[in-house]
A and B are shown apart, each in its own frame.
Chain A
Amino acid sequence: MSILELRDVRYVYKNKYRSVEAINGINYGFEAGKVYALMGRSGSGKTTLLSLMAGLDLPTSGQVVREGVPTSETDLEKYRRENVSVIYQDFRLFPLLTAAENVMYPMELRGVKPAEAKRRAAELIESVGLPDSVLDRFPPMLSGGEQQRVAIARALGMETKILLADEPTGNLDEDNSANVFEILRRLAHDDGYCVIIVTHDEAIGQKADVTVRIRDGVIAE
C-alpha cells in the first residue's frame, strides 16, 4: 500500500508574462520500506515534485495524498512537522546552532525536553557515523559530508516515515556519497522508511529499489 500517492499532480510556475508547466499530470504511489530515486534532466520537474511531496506548496491541480489524506485538506505546517522530513543538497543547517542543536531543533518542536533531545541527538549523530566530537561543532566547522550526515540525523530526529532527499550527495565526494546512500538505504530497509531521493547520480539510481524517471513533467518510465 502506498504511503504517499500522487494523483494527477500538476504544477504550473507562472508570472505576469508567461507560465511554465513544471509537473504535468503525474500519478504514482510510494511505499514504505523502499528507496526511490527520482531522476531526470535539469528542469524536468523532479525538485518541484519533491517540494510538493514535502508539503512546501500545493499542486496547481491533482492531489498529493499521504495515507489517504490529501495535503490540500491538511495543515501543511503540521504535515511538514509530523509527516515528512527533508534533506537538502546544500544541507540547510542553522549556522548558529551546533550540530547537536540542529538535530535537537525538530525534536523540540515536537515537545521533547531539551535534555532528552540532546541525548537523542547524540544517538542519531552516532547512528549516521559521526563521532561525538561533532556534537558541539557549528556547521561551518564541519565538512560537506559531515554536514550532510548531520542533516540526515536531523531528518531522523523528526521521526517521520517519509524521508525526502534533494540531491543529498550532490556536494559530496564518492566515498561520502556512498556512505550517505548507505544510511538512507538502511533507514528504508531496516526501519521501514519511505526514502525518496532526487538525484542525477546514475549510481544511486542503480542502487535504489525503484527508479522513477521524469521528463518534461511526466513520468517517463
Chain B
Amino acid sequence: MIFRNGIKSNTRARGRTALFFCLIAALTFSLTLSLGVLSYSERTIEKCDETYRSIGLIEYTRGDYPDENAADSAARAAYDSVGELFAELPEGVEEWQPELNDIVFADGYTNRSSSSKYADYGVVVLSGIGDPVYRKVYDFLPIDEAVRTFFGYDGGFTVTDDYLNNNNGTGFSMGVYYILTDDGNFYSLAGYDVNFDAEGNVVGVTVPREDKDSVFYYSARISEVIYASDFKPNRLVNLIPSAIDFTLEKGKTYIAHGAFVNKNDPLGPLNGISNFEITSIKGYDGAPVELYDGTVPEVFAETAGLYEKINNCLILNSSADINDAYEFHQGFLYAEEGEIPSPDDAGACMITPDVAYILDVSVGDEINLTLLSSDPNLRYDLNVTQSRATLRVAGITNESSDYSGRIWTIGDGFGSALFGYRLGTLHFDNASAADAVERITPLLPEGVRLTLFDQGYGDAVKPLYSAINASVNTAIVSAFGAAAVMLIFAFLFVGRQSGNVKIMVSLGTPRAKIAAWLLSGAMMITISAAALGAVVGYILLPAVYSAVANRSVSAPLYSETALGVRKQIELSAGHSVIPTVVAWLGMTLLALLFCLIFMRRAIRAGTFERGSSRMRIPRGTTSTAGRGSVRFAALSIKRGGTRSLIVPAVAAVLTAAVIIMAGVFQGWQNELDGAYESMTISGNAVSTNGRYYSGLVIEPANIRSLLELDDIENVYVSKSYRYWLPDEMPAFGTSGFALENRDDWIATQPEITATNALAGAKEFYYAEPSVEWLDGWDESFLASDEYEPFLTYLFARNRVSFSETGEPVLPKDEKPVPAVIGDEFAEAHGLRLGDSFIAQFRENSITFNAEPYISINVVGIYKQTGGRAQIYVPLGWTVPPDAIFGEYNPEEHAPQVSFFMGYYFEGISNQLEYYFYSQITFSTCRFTFSSASSLDGVRETLRNAGFSRVGKLGPIRMTIVLNDASFIKLTETLGRYITTGKVMMAVIAALISACGFIISWLLINGRKQEFALMRGFGVPKGRIFASFFIEQALLCGAGTLVGCVSLFFFGAGGWLQPAAAAAFAVFYLAGCAVSVKLIGKSKLMELLSAKE
C-alpha cells in the first residue's frame, strides 16, 4: 500500500517522471559507455604491455661509430660509466643488459665472410717458380745534370709549368714541367718525377732503375693449399718474397706462409694475377718459406691451424634475455626452428642457420666453443685460449645475410673487452619508457645516445590513451550531470513531499513507512531508467570498442619516434559486464543518497517542531532614492540580508575558480606556444634503418633538393678524412703485415672534417661546442667560399716537397687552411691560437688512397669531449660551398680544376667541374627549420619531394629523420591537457550557467509573491524583468569583481582569464535571465494563488 501510493504519487506527474526517466537513462548510458571504454582501453593497454617490448639501445656515437669492430677507449670509458649509472636501475627501467660479445671458435665451422685480420693469410705449397722480377729504385738527378743527360743541352734554361704562355698560346699542354732553353726550345719533363725545393722551384728529377739486389716477385703456381680461407690449388700467383733475404730457385717446390694481396693494390705488380706475398710467421724467427718435400713442417701446420680457427670464428652474444637483443627485438631474427630460450634457461643458445648447417647440429644438440682472445686494440688479432663452453641449441634463427656465424646465449659470456660502440640495452616498462628515456638521457655520458625501440607500443596505445582521456572526461561530465540531475530529481520527487509527510505524520504514520513512501517512487524510476540506459550501453559497447581499436595512429612522417620495427597485432580485450553494473549501481546509489538527504529534509519539514519559526526583519527606513526598476533592485539588494551576500559570494568563488582554471589552461597554452616558438627542431640524413647519422654517402644533388624545400634552413654538411701528423706515424716497414697494420693504424686516427658549421659535425649533434677563437675569427669562416678545394691542387699540381731533413714543405704560395682543433690535441702538441702545423690525411673517395698534406692554421680551439682530436676546416677546403648551396660560377674555379686525373681539358671545365663535384659525397647532413610550427608542413614537403624515410624508400635515396621526439611528447602531453581543459571549461561553463540559473531560479522562485504582486499592479513585463535582473546582475557583478582579485595572484597573461571571468558573468546572468523569464511565463492567477 505504502509503496503503491509512493510510486503513484510520483509517477502520476507523468511529464516530470518521463523527463527524469529519460535524463537518468541517458546519463547511465553515457556512464556505461565511458566506463566501458575506460575499462576496455585499460585492459587493452595491459595486453599491449604483455605483447610489446620496449628497449633502449645505448650507443657511443663518437669516434668511428657505428664500426662494430672499433677499439675505442672513449667508448670503453663510456661503457664503464654507463654500467655504473645503471648499477641502480632508474625508474621505468626493468633491466640493464651491458653488451657482452666474445669471439669463439667451434670445431668444424668455416666462415666464408670472415673479417678476421688473417682472412687473407694462408700456408701454401708453391711450385713452378719462374725468373725474378726486380724492384725499381730511384736516383736523384739535379736539374742541370738531368737536362744535360736527357736532352743533351748544355746551355742556360728556365723551368716552367706554363707551356701555353711560353709557347705563344698554341699547342697542347699535359700539365707537366717544361725546360725553356735560352735558345727558345721546349723540352718536356713528362714521365720524370720532378722534385722541388721549399719555395716550389724544380730542383731535379728522380730517375728509376732496376735493383738487382731486390726481387719484386716471381711467377709461381700454388700446387697445394695447407690452409687458405678462400683459395683453391693450381692457381698462378705473383710470389712476392718481401720477408726473405734469399733467392728462390727456379723450378723448385716450396712451402710458404704469406698473404694474398689485393691485385689492385698500388704496391702490387698490377699484372692481373693474384699476389701472394711471403710474410714472416708471428712469433717464429725462422724463414716463412722452406723447400717442400711432401711433409708439412710443424710451425707451418700450427700456423695453418691457428688461421683456420681464427678465420672461422663465431661471435657469441651473451645476455639475460635474448628477446631484448636488438636483432631479435626488431624482428630481423626469429626462431625458425625451436624457440628462443627463456631467461632462466642458462646454457641454452640460438644459432644462425649457417652455423647449424656447417656444424650439422639441430635443436637439442650441443656445440663446444673455445674463446679466442682479441688484442685490446685490434679485435681480430686473435689468440686461442683455454676457455671453453658447451651450449645447448634451443633454437635456430631465420636466414639472414646480415647475421651469419652468430650465437646468442643466456649468461654473462667470457668477459672480453668491448669492441664497437654498442654499450648495452635497457629493458623498459612499456608505459613509462618514453618518460624514462627523457629522464635518463641527460644523465648519460657525453657522446652516448639512448634510442628507444618500442615496437610501435607508443602508437598502439596512443588511441587507447585518447579513449581513456575522452572516457574519463565523459565520465566526469556524466557524473557531474548525474549529480545535478539527481539533486533536482531528489528535491522534486522527495524533498518537495513535505506536504504529504505532514499529512502522514498527522495520521500517525510510522517513520519507516513515511520513508518507504518517499523513496519507493523515486527509486523505482531511478532503478528502471538506469537499467534501461545500462542495458542499451552494454549492447552498443562492442561497436564503440571496435571504433576505438580501429583508430590506429601511425607515427608522424620522418619522425625519430618511428624508428624500429612496428608490430601489427590484433588486440581484443573482450567485453566486460562490470562497467555496466558499476554505471547502473552508481546511478542508483547516487539517487538513493540524494533521496535519503531530501527525505530527511522532507520529514523534518513535515514534522512539527516547537520554536522552529523565525522572522527576518530588514534594516533601514523608507527611501525615495532612485527610480523604477533600479530603485527596486537597489532596495532589494540593500535589504536582502543573507540573500544579498550569497550571490556575490558564490559569484566571487566561482569567478576565482574559473580564473584559476583558466590560468592553468592558459599556462598550458602558453607552454605550448612557447614550445612552438622556442624549440628548434633539426633533421638529419641517416642510414636507411635510421640508426646512423654519420659515415653516410650523401650526394650533393640530394642536398640541393633539400635546399629547394620551403621552411628548411641552415643545412649543414660535413665530410671527414683520417689525418695524422707525419712524424707520428709509426714505421711499418714493407714486410709482414705492414700494409694491413698501416691501414689499421690510419683507420684508428682522428678525422679532419670539412663542414660549413660546427653544428654539422657529428660530435656536435647533441652538444654545443665550446670554442675559444683567435681574435677576429668566428665560426662563419667554415661556410666561406674563399678557400681552394684541396682536390684541385692535389690533381693540378704536385705542391708538396720535402726539406733536406725530410719534412714536408708546402709551396710558399700555399695558404694554410684555418681550422678549429681540440684543446687536448693543442696542449699535447704545444699549439696555440694562430699557430700553424702540417698534417697528412687519406683521401679515398675520389682517388685511390691518396695521402696529401694540409697546412693548418689554428683559429679556434674547442673543448674536446669525446677523446678524439677532430679538426674542423671550412667546407670550401673540400668543395666550393657555392657548388652545393648557391649559384656556383665555374669561371672562378676553372684554372684549378681544369686539370683532372692527369689531363688538361681546356675549354670544357664546366663539365669537368660538374663531374668533379658530383663525385664528392658527404658523410653527414643536418638541417633546421625556420620554426617548429612548420613541423607538419616540413613532413609533407619532404614526402612530396620524395625523400626517403625509415622503412620507406622514396625517389630521393636520402633517408631523413626529424629529431622531434621531445617536441612531440611535449606537444602531445600539453595537447592532451588542453583538450581536457577545453572539455572541462565547456563543462564548467555549462555548470556555471546552470548555477546561475539554479541560484536565480531558487532566489526568484522564493519571491514569486513579489513577482505576482508586480504583475497584479500591471507593472510592464520589461520592468519586472529589469527589477529582478538588475538586482542579480549587480550582485553577480560585484562578486565577479571580487573574484577578479585572484587575477593578481594567478594571472597567466593573455585574454583567456578575463574572458573566462566575463564568460562566467555572462553565463550566470543568462541563467538568471532564463529563470526570470520562466517565472514570467507562469499564469498570473497561478502565481497569485501560489504560496511562498
Instruction: Show the binding face of A for B, using Cβ within 8 Å.
Output: 48, 51, 54-57, 76-82, 86, 88, 92, 94-98, 100-101, 104-106, 108-109, 114-115, 117-118, 135-136, 138, 140-141, 158
Task: Please report the C-alpha to C-alpha distance between residue A115 and residue B625 in the assembled complex, in whole angstroms.
Answer: 9
Among B616, B631, B1013, B1016, which residue has its beta carbon within 8 angstroms of that of A140? B616
Known pairs A96-B636, A109-B1018, A114-B624; list 5 more (Cβ under 8 Å).
Answer: A80-B1017, A81-B1018, A104-B624, A115-B624, A138-B617
CB of B1020 closer than 8 Å to a CB of A: yes
Task: Please report the C-alpha to C-alpha distance between residue A101 and residue B1016 in the assembled complex, in whole angstroms.
Answer: 17
In the complex with contacts A92-B1013, A141-B617, A108-B628 CB distance below 8 A = yes
Q: Are B1019 and A81 in contact (CB under 8 A)?
A: yes
Task: Please report the C-alpha to C-alpha distance between residue A92 and residue B1011 in the assembled complex, in whole angstroms.
Answer: 10
Q: Are A96 and B1016 in contact (CB under 8 A)?
A: no
Q: Are B622 and A135 in contact (CB under 8 A)?
A: yes
Chain A residue numbers with a CB within 8 Å of B963 are none
Among A82, A98, A158, which residue has its beta carbon within 8 angstroms of that of B622? A98
Q: Are B1017 and A105 in contact (CB under 8 A)?
A: yes
Among B625, B628, B1010, B1020, which residue has its beta carbon within 8 angstroms of that of A95? B1010
Task: Please report the C-alpha to C-alpha distance between residue A182 and residue B1021 in the assembled complex, in whole angstroms.
Answer: 35
Instruction: Show the binding face of B for A, using Cβ within 8 Å.
Output: 615-618, 620-625, 627-628, 631, 635-636, 639-640, 1009-1010, 1012-1013, 1015-1021, 1083-1085, 1088
Q: Are B621 and A56 in contact (CB under 8 A)?
A: no
Chain A residue numbers with a CB within 8 Å of B1013 are 92, 94
Task: Please report the C-alpha to C-alpha distance between residue A97 and residue B621 in the assembled complex, in whole angstroms.
Answer: 9
Task: Please report the C-alpha to C-alpha distance between residue A182 and residue B692 in the assembled complex, in whole angstroms.
Answer: 110
Chain A residue numbers with a CB within 8 Å of B1019 are 77, 81, 109
Chain B residue numbers with a CB within 8 Å of A100 are 622
Q: Are B1016 and A118 in contact (CB under 8 A)?
A: no
Please give me the residue from chain B that is nearest to A154 by CB atom.
B1017
Chain B residue numbers with a CB within 8 Å of A97 are 635
Task: Please report the C-alpha to C-alpha distance between residue A100 and residue B620 in the assembled complex, in whole angstroms.
Answer: 12
Chain A residue numbers with a CB within 8 Å of B631 are 108, 114
Q: Are A106 and B622 in contact (CB under 8 A)?
A: no
Among A51, A94, A114, which residue has its beta carbon within 8 angstroms of that of B627? A114
Among A101, A104, A158, which residue has its beta carbon within 8 angstroms of that of B1017? A158
Q: List 23 A-B contacts (CB under 8 A).
A: A55-B1018, A57-B1083, A77-B1015, A77-B1021, A80-B1015, A80-B1017, A81-B1017, A92-B1009, A92-B1013, A96-B618, A96-B635, A97-B635, A98-B620, A100-B622, A101-B635, A104-B622, A105-B1017, A108-B627, A108-B628, A108-B631, A114-B625, A140-B615, A141-B617
Task: Please report the C-alpha to C-alpha distance between residue A142 and residue B441 in the assembled complex, in whole angstroms.
Answer: 81
Chain B residue numbers with a CB within 8 Å of A106 are 1017
Chain B residue numbers with a CB within 8 Å of A57 are 1083-1085
| Total of A-B residue pairs, C-beta within 8 Å | 81
Chain B residue numbers with a CB within 8 Å of A96 are 618, 635-636, 639-640
Chain B residue numbers with a CB within 8 Å of A141 are 617
Task: Please report the C-alpha to C-alpha distance between residue A80 and residue B1088 in the assembled complex, in whole angstroms.
Answer: 14
Please give me the residue from chain B that is nearest to A80 by CB atom.
B1018
Chain B residue numbers with a CB within 8 Å of A138 are 617-618, 639
Chain A residue numbers with a CB within 8 Å of B640 are 96
Q: Are A86 and B1018 in contact (CB under 8 A)?
A: no
Among A48, A77, A117, which residue has its beta carbon within 8 angstroms of that of B1018? A77
Chain A residue numbers with a CB within 8 Å of B627 are 108, 114
Please give me the residue from chain B that is nearest to A102 by CB atom.
B1013
Chain B residue numbers with a CB within 8 Å of A117 are 624
Task: Please report the C-alpha to C-alpha distance between residue A104 and residue B622 in the assembled complex, in whole angstroms.
Answer: 10
Q: Are A136 and B621 in contact (CB under 8 A)?
A: yes
Q: Are B628 and A56 in contact (CB under 8 A)?
A: no
Chain A residue numbers with a CB within 8 Å of B618 are 95-96, 138
Query: What are the 5 A-B residue pairs with the smallest beta carbon separation, nearest first?
Result: A81-B1018, A80-B1018, A114-B624, A96-B639, A100-B622
Chain A residue numbers with a CB within 8 Å of B1010 are 94-95
Smallest Cβ distance from B118 to chain A, in angstroms? 105
Smallest Cβ distance from A1 to chain B, in angstroms? 25
Task: Please report the C-alpha to C-alpha distance between residue A117 and residue B627 in the assembled complex, in whole angstroms.
Answer: 12
Chain B residue numbers with a CB within 8 Å of A115 are 624
Chain A residue numbers with a CB within 8 Å of B635 are 96-97, 101
Chain A residue numbers with a CB within 8 Å of B636 are 96
Chain A residue numbers with a CB within 8 Å of B1084 are 56-57
In the complex with contacts A95-B1010, A118-B622, A76-B1018 CB distance below 8 A = yes
Q: Are B622 and A56 in contact (CB under 8 A)?
A: no
Q: Are B622 and A101 in contact (CB under 8 A)?
A: yes
Please give me the residue from chain A that is nearest to B1084 by CB atom.
A56
Q: Are B1085 and A101 in contact (CB under 8 A)?
A: no
Chain B residue numbers with a CB within 8 Å of A158 are 1017
Task: Please report the C-alpha to C-alpha distance between residue A138 and residue B1012 in the assembled complex, in whole angstroms.
Answer: 19
Task: Please report the C-alpha to C-alpha distance between residue A167 and residue B1088 in the assembled complex, in whole angstroms.
Answer: 14
Among A79, A101, A118, A140, which residue has its beta carbon within 8 angstroms of that of B617? A140
Task: Please report the C-alpha to C-alpha distance between residue A98 and residue B639 in the assembled complex, in whole angstroms.
Answer: 10
Smallest Cβ distance from B1085 to chain A, in angstroms? 5
Smallest Cβ distance from A181 to chain B, in angstroms? 22
Chain A residue numbers with a CB within 8 Å of B617 are 138, 140-141
Task: Please report the C-alpha to C-alpha distance between residue A117 and residue B1009 in the assembled complex, in whole angstroms.
Answer: 23
Please give me the residue from chain B that is nearest to A106 by CB atom.
B1017
Chain A residue numbers with a CB within 8 Å of B623 are 101
Smallest Cβ distance from A116 to chain B, in angstroms? 9
Smallest Cβ distance from B433 to chain A, in angstroms? 64
Chain B residue numbers with a CB within 8 Å of A82 are 1018
Task: Please report the C-alpha to C-alpha distance between residue A118 and residue B631 in the assembled complex, in whole angstroms.
Answer: 14
Smallest Cβ distance from B1030 to chain A, in angstroms? 15
In the complex with contacts A77-B1018, A140-B617, A51-B1088 CB distance below 8 A = yes
Among B628, B1016, B1083, which residue has its beta carbon within 8 angstroms of that of A54? B1016
In the complex with contacts A57-B1084, A140-B616, A78-B1016 CB distance below 8 A = no
Task: Please report the C-alpha to C-alpha distance between residue A94 and residue B636 in the assembled complex, in whole angstroms.
Answer: 10
Please give me the residue from chain B that is nearest to A82 by CB atom.
B1018
Q: Are B1083 and A118 in contact (CB under 8 A)?
A: no
